[in-house]
Structure 1
């Protein structure tokens, strides 16, 4: 779902250094039915993580990019070297 990829990258740009929950993206896009899209955004999120476009963490620790994480996760943009 290309629209979810764009929305995640948009959130990364607006949040700068701050992480966010995937549900925050969906709540903005689909205020009434956001929960229906959680499996979709998690799939897109992990694909983007494997591509190196974003970071995905749980309790501040990066998740394994080749396993689907259980429980809440946070997304953040990739930090560029200074």
Structure 2
């Protein structure tokens, strides 16, 4: 799972303020079998969100940290204070 965590951080760094779908991460890593990794990327995403390392939103609204969201979500990095 550490590789997925690193990949999410990498996407956050490359996308800066833009959000992205978790499927984009696994599609890049596993182009043939990306769908098999969706449960894993969503699990890692929620752990990172609960740790306060990333933002996870649905229709522009942050998801509940205590619930696993159903349907499409977007990941974005945390803005660093200036």
RMSD value, Cα: 0.5
Q: Which runs of 5+ in 2 are unaligned?
A: none
The size of the alignment, in residue pairs, is: 82
Q: Give the secondary structure class of the aligned counterpart of 2:19.
A: coil
Indicate the SS of the match to 1:32: coil
Structure 1 residue runs of 5 or longer lacking an equivalent are none
Q: TM-score, normalised by structure 2?
A: 0.98
SS in 1 for 2:79: coil
Displaced runs of 4 or more, over 3 A: none
Q: Confirm or deny that 1:51 pairs with 2:51.
A: yes
Q: TM-score, normalised by structure 1?
A: 0.98
